[in-house]
């Protein structure tokens, strides 16, 4: 517990952000319900941001997008919208829950860039082939094309 | 070259509504999210056309984290400065908020404790930013769903101390005035009566929605009548030079967006831009 004006603003801000995005405990003195409302509002904001970077993934999930994203993102701090959407798409792919549009978007992204899951994706320089959910995308001569759509 | 300061009714330029914005005949003022503009240009095509037309473009930063306890990242200030030069902006704006701490990104604007320590942190960061910006900085108070447990100052004193110490102007978000009053059970007019309204550079107007017992400043819902009424209350006290509609998603059909711009013009007495 921190005293007001104790010169520990940095630590208290860090505690608060951890509570909001990383599943950390509620810092002392804060009202639980408003902070929880803010936590959920942050998840909705993130869902919208990621949907802008991964429009087909979000469209493929339709009405289930906000809950699907929130379920995955709760307690998981953001690595930026591009990587968040990428990680979620791979996770849904592993679970066999990636919708067709999302599979096509993921295949195209995997063909275009190399992403190790830990550092920012980097554009590929060499020809590459990527698959997800039956979708096949290829990067050839600097252009990325979807060769085959995902399975219906 | 630096254009004139914001005047009249404007709209937040977003790529999704670039076509709509381009066709607003009376438009003299837009805002662009600074982090969305590549620093070495050229500006996005639709925005460049507005600059050509002499429309005032104000870069609006959202990730500087001026309220962070750590010093503001000089690279982020440099980016904001470059965007200001790219669009010939007369000023830039940012928030009185923090968006990251302890190596974690919150993903949105978070409130500060209204304490002397927080005032000192904001003032230090605003001065660092001002030293590297080519144009004046306007500061925007945010909508907060929660307060810190150890507030020493009320909102008006907190903001006035920051403005006094930095010489920054105020970007007043009238929807945030509603949101904070509604969520704290306070009177929005009491806040308007105590804010330094003569220092307002321009005003934000945005939509929101009631959800789970709170008013959420979503920017993806219509502007509620209560916020339009507050524009009237604000202008009766001191009319700001400009008001800007912020919409960030769930775009309505063009007639609905035009109607919102017209409602802001009607509430403030400025000419319609549609």
Confidence band of B4 (pLDDT split at 50, 70, 90): low
CB-based contact B264:B243 (threshold 8 Å): yes
Per CB-CB distance under 8 Å, the chain A contacts of B101 are 10, 13-14, 16-17
Dump pLDDT digits (tens) for A107-134: 999 999 999 999 999 999 999 999 998 9
Residue B256 has pLDDT above 90, yes or no: yes
A35 → closest Cβ in B113, B146, B248: B146
Distance CA B141, CA B174 (A): 10
Per CB-CB distance under 8 Å, the chain B contacts of A48 are 220, 248-249
What is the reported pLDDT for A4?
45
Q: Per DSSP, what are the bridge partners of residue B204?
A: B173, B244
CB-based contact A136:A148 (threshold 8 Å): yes
Per CB-CB distance under 8 Å, the chain A contacts of B108 are 41-42, 45
Let me know if residue B1 belongs to a domain: no
Q: Per DSSP, what are the bridge partners of residue B242?
A: B8
Note whether A34 contacts B183, CB cutoff 8 Å. Answer: yes
Dump pLDDT digits (tens) for B145-157: 999 998 999 999 9
Residue A1 has pLDDT above 50, yes or no: no
Confidence band of A7 (pLDDT split at 50, 70, 90): low
Let me know if residue B2 belongs to a domain: no
Distance CA B36, CA B16 (A): 13
Q: What is the mean pLDDT of residues B108-137?
A: 97
Q: Does A19 contact B at CB distance below 8 Å?
A: no
List of residues 6+ apart from B117 with CB closer than 8 A: A5, A6, A7, A9
What is the reported pLDDT for B2?
55
Structural domains in chain B (count): 1
Dump pLDDT digits (tens) for B66-94: 999 999 999 999 999 999 999 999 999 99
Let me know if residue B132 belongs to a domain: yes
Q: ∠B4-B9-B11 over CA atoms, to 5°?
A: 95
Dump pLDDT digits (tens) for B29-52: 999 999 999 988 788 989 999 999
CB-based contact B155:B141 (threshold 8 Å): yes
Q: Does A47 contact B at CB distance below 8 Å?
A: no
Residue B122 has pLDDT above 60, yes or no: yes
Query: Residue A130 CB: number of other CB atoms within 10 A?
Result: 21
Distance CA A147, CA A110 (A): 13
Residue A5 has pLDDT above 50, yes or no: no
ipTM, two decimals, is 0.94
Instruction: Provide φ and ψ at A149, rounded to 5°.
Output: -70, 165
Dump pLDDT digits (tens) for B187-224: 999 999 999 999 999 999 999 999 999 999 999 999 99
Confidence band of B98 (pLDDT split at 50, 70, 90): very high
Distance CA B30, CA B14 (A): 10
Per CB-CB distance under 8 Å, the chain A contacts of B102 are 10-11, 13-15, 17-18
**Start-end of H helices in A22-54:** 32-53
What is the reported pLDDT for B3?
55
Question: Would you state the structure tokens that stand for residue B137, as one six-digit string?
Answer: 């900085």
What is the reported pLDDT for A152?
75
List of residues 6+ apart from A13 with CB closer than 8 A: B68, B69, B98, B101, B102, B110
How many Å from the N-terminal Cα to the C-terminal Cα in chain A? Answer: 55
Judging by beta carbons within 10 Å of its beta carbon (0-12, 13-18, 19+), is residue B171 exposed, middle or buried? buried
Note whether B102 contacts A13, CB cutoff 8 Å. Answer: yes
Judging by beta carbons within 10 Å of its beta carbon (0-12, 13-18, 19+), is residue B35 exposed, middle or buried? middle
How many Å from the N-terminal Cα to the C-terminal Cα in chain B? Answer: 27
DSSP H or E stretch at residue B20: helix B18-22
Residue A3 has pLDDT above 80, yes or no: no
- In the structure, how many helices (H) and strands (E) does chain B have? 9, 12
Per CB-CB distance under 8 Å, the chain A contacts of B146 are 30-31, 34-35, 37-38
Dump pLDDT digits (tens) for B155-174: 999 999 999 999 999 999 99
Let me know if residue B3 belongs to a domain: no
| CATH number for the domain that contains residue B239 | 3.20.20.150
Question: Would you state the structure tokens that stand for residue B157, as one six-digit string?
Answer: 């004193």
Q: Does B116 contact A at CB distance below 8 Å?
A: yes
Among the ranges given (A10-14, A17-21, A130-134, B54-58), the one the predictor scored with the smallest mean pLDDT: A130-134
Q: Does A21 contact B at CB distance below 8 Å?
A: yes
Confidence band of B1 (pLDDT split at 50, 70, 90): very low
Among the ranges given (A1-5, A8-12, B266-270), the one the predictor scored with the smallest mean pLDDT: A1-5
CB-based contact B245:B12 (threshold 8 Å): yes
Dump pLDDT digits (tens) for A57-66: 999 999 999 9
What is the reported pLDDT for A40?
95
Let me know if residue B218 belongs to a domain: yes
Q: What is the mean pLDDT of chain B?
A: 96
Range of the domain at B117: 8-253+260-268
Q: What is the mean pLDDT of residues A25-42?
A: 96
Helical pair A81-95 and A65-73, crossing angle rounded to 10 deg: 100
Let me know if residue B108 belongs to a domain: yes
Let me know if residue B27 belongs to a domain: yes
Among B15, B104, B206, which would you mutate to test the A interface (most chain A Cβ atoms within 10 Å of its Cβ)?
B104
Let me know if residue B92 belongs to a domain: yes
Q: Please, which residues 121-150 of chain B have a Cβ atom closer than 8 Å to chain A?
A: 121, 144-150
């Amino acid at each position: 517990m921190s005293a007001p004006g104790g010169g520990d603003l940095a630590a208290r801000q860090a505690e608060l952000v951890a509570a909001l995005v990383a599943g950390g405990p509620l810092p002392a003195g804060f009202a639980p319900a408003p902070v929880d409302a803010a936590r959920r509002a942050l998840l909705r904001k993130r869902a919208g941001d990621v949907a802008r970077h991964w429009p087909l993934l979000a469209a493929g999930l339709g009405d289930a997008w906000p809950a699907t994203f929130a379920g995955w993102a709760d307690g998981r701090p953001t690595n930026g919208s591009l990587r968040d959407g990428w990680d979620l798409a791979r996770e849904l792919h592993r679970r066999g829950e990636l919708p067709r549009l999302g599979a096509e978007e993921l295949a195209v992204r995997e063909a275009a860039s190399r992403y190790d899951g830990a550092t920012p994706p980097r554009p590929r320089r060499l020809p590459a082939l990527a698959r997800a959910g039956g979708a096949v995308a290829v990067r050839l001569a600097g252009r990325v094309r979807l060769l085959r759509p995902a399975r219906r | 070259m630096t254009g004139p300061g914001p005047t009249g009714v404007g709209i937040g330029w977003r790529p999704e509504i670039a076509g709509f914005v381009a066709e607003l005949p009376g438009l003299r003022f837009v805002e662009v999210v600074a982090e969305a503009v590549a620093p070495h240009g050229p500006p996005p095509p639709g925005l460049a056309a507005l600059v050509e037309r002499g429309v005032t473009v104000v870069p609006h930063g959202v990730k500087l984290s001026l309220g962070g306890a750590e010093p503001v990242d000089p690279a982020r200030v440099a980016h904001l400065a470059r965007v200001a030069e790219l669009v010939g902006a007369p000023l830039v704006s940012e928030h009185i908020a923090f968006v990251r701490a302890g190596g974690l990104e919150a993903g949105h604007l978070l409130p500060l404790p209204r304490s002397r320590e927080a005032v000192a942190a904001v003032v230090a960061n605003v001065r660092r930013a001002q030293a590297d910006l080519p144009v004046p900085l306007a500061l925007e108070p945010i909508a907060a769903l929660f307060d810190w447990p150890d507030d020493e100052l009320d909102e008006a004193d907190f903001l006035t101390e920051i403005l006094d110490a930095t010489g920054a102007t105020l970007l007043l978000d009238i929807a945030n005035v509603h949101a904070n009053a509604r969520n704290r059970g306070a009177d929005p007019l009491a806040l308007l009566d105590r804010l330094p309204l003569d220092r307002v550079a321009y005003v934000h107007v945005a939509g929101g929605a009631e959800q789970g017992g709170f008013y959420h400043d979503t920017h993806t819902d219509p502007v509620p009548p209560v916020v339009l009424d507050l524009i009237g209350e604000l202008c009766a006290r001191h009319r700001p030079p400009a008001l800007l509609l912020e919409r960030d998603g769930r775009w309505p059909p063009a007639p609905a967006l035009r109607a919102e711009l017209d409602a802001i013009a009607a509430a403030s007495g400025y000419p319609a831009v549609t």
